[in-house]
Amino acid sequence: MTNIVISQLKEKKIAQVIAVISASISAFASGSLWAFQSPAIPKLIAEYGFTIEQLSYFTVIGPVALVLTTPIFCKLGDKIGRKYTLLLTGLIHLSGWLAVIFAKNIWIFYLNRILFGMGDACIYAILPAYLAEITTARMRNLFGNMLMIFSFYGQFFSNCIGYYFSIPTTGMIMLAVPLLFLTCFTFMPDTPYFLVMVNNTEGAKRSLQQLRGIQNVDLELKQITQDVNRQLSESGNLKDLFAIKSNRKALFIAIFSRSAYQLSGFVALVAYSQYVFQEAGGTIPNGISAMIVSLILCVVIIFANVISDQLGRKKSMVISCSGCGIALLGEAIYFYLQKNDIVDLTSINWFPVAALVFYALWFCVGLGIVPTLIAGEIFSTSIRKHATSITNVVFGIYASIFTKVFQLLMTGYGLWAPFLFFSVCLFIHAIASHFIILETKAKTLEDIQQMLKGNKK
């Protein structure tokens, strides 16, 4: 009897891991499309004759598309399900890479950025909820961060391919990623939470049986049904998102964590990393430098996931913001001294790479994990559609503004200015995180709702 239980538990974990990985391939595709800018920008300037001003809109167009299309995907997630909405990203990413392959002018590359933004709108709206709703509380702590983990691997892969191959060839190679996602994820179930929401009890039972790897799921199905029905019994219109205190608190926490992510400068650094290293000089080629930082992110994020699970959400964010702030402050000092020729920095021209490696280490511990994890677990079923839509819109607005701010500060004052700006923002967020971030470690989705309401369960 014991052996049967043990084998079932192993199968349970394996089934959830397979579903999580299959869904997260979409995040890999998203990360690769975003990081494509980094190796592409130097080539687009040298080979296509585009200006840095034209290319600066790369980092703006995507987030704007995200803002405009997020409400559509949020609504689709509740209408056709998490699974089928996520499958749309595969088609969007295929179209994005086809645009890269055949692009001859700047407008086609802008179309690629629009498609990237649409794909991100879908992923950030649906994937965190999908991962949260298919996993148990313990498995969610371990695997709920796969969005960012796979995104980092996609960035590394894109940096490598984009550095060594031409832009059209890169597009051809990267087509394999969305094709793989469509192939694998088609066989995964929709979430039991969504199926209960649409009164498909039998479908929810089959979903749980596939995800848990066991036939007897009646107890969990009963609990999920009770939780969903209780949450759906609450009014779930847009007004209630702001009128009800627990909903308002959840929205504020989600927006705060997403703002910390954007004001860390990470999105801008990914887009401009090769350009930054090119301007910094040094003996390491700029493409190799970008790959080193991406590789560090890929390696550290796995271990950081475990560390963050031990520390909890709150401590992870405080430590992460502080460490990243110190790293960017070091970059600001270096580039200020370089620009004003105050000190001969030839002997330490490796510093920009080292500082960004240090930045990557601390980023993974909290900023790279907590915001997306919180987004998938903090909202009640009744208002998740509206809440996710708003947080994603804010995320897109921040991304479009602050990546442009990075470029304006960089071209207007020098590289030291954006690094100093983001460093100050990080130190402010480190302090604020201690008071704002809710500790949701090892809590069920219903437990989190009760915490937001101030109930001790």
**Nearest Cα to 369, choosing from 295, 444, 319, 421?**
319
Residue 228 domain flag: no
Q: Residue 36, SS3?
A: coil
Domain count, the chain: 1
CA-based torsion, 261, 264, 267, 273: positive or negative: negative
Helix spans in 264-383 (H): 266-280, 286-311, 313-339, 351-365, 370-377
Q: Is residue 202 part of a domain?
A: no
| Per-residue model confidence as pLDDT tens digits over 304-361 | 767 777 788 888 899 999 999 999 999 899 888 888 878 877 777 778 878 888 888 8
**Nearest to residue 269, comparing CAs of 108, 135, 379, 422?**
422
Q: Is 398 a member of any domain?
A: yes
Domain presence at residue 206: no
Residue 285, domain member (yes or no)? yes
pTM greater than 0.95:
no
Domain that holds residue 289: 17-188+234-453
Question: Is the Cβ–Cβ distance between 361 and 323 less than 8 Å?
Answer: yes
- The answer to whether residue 9 sits within a structural domain is no
Residues of the chain with pLDDT under 70: 1-12, 141-142, 144, 234-236, 270-284, 286-287, 289-290, 305, 376, 381, 442, 456-457
Express each pLDDT in 378-387 by its tens digit: 887 677 778 8
- Per 3-state DSSP, the chain is made up of helix, strand and coil in percentages (nearest 5) of 85, 0, 15
Q: Output phi, psi for 191, to 5 deg.
A: -80, 145
Where residue 104 sits, what CATH number does that domain have?
1.20.1250.20
The answer to the question of residue 200 being in a domain is no
- What is the Cα–Cα distance from 386 to 402, expressed in whole angstroms? 24
DSSP string of 144-198, one letter each residue? TTHHHHHHHHHHHHHHHHHHHS-HHHHHHHHTHHHHHHHHHHTTSPPPHHHHHHT
Residue 221 lies in a domain: no
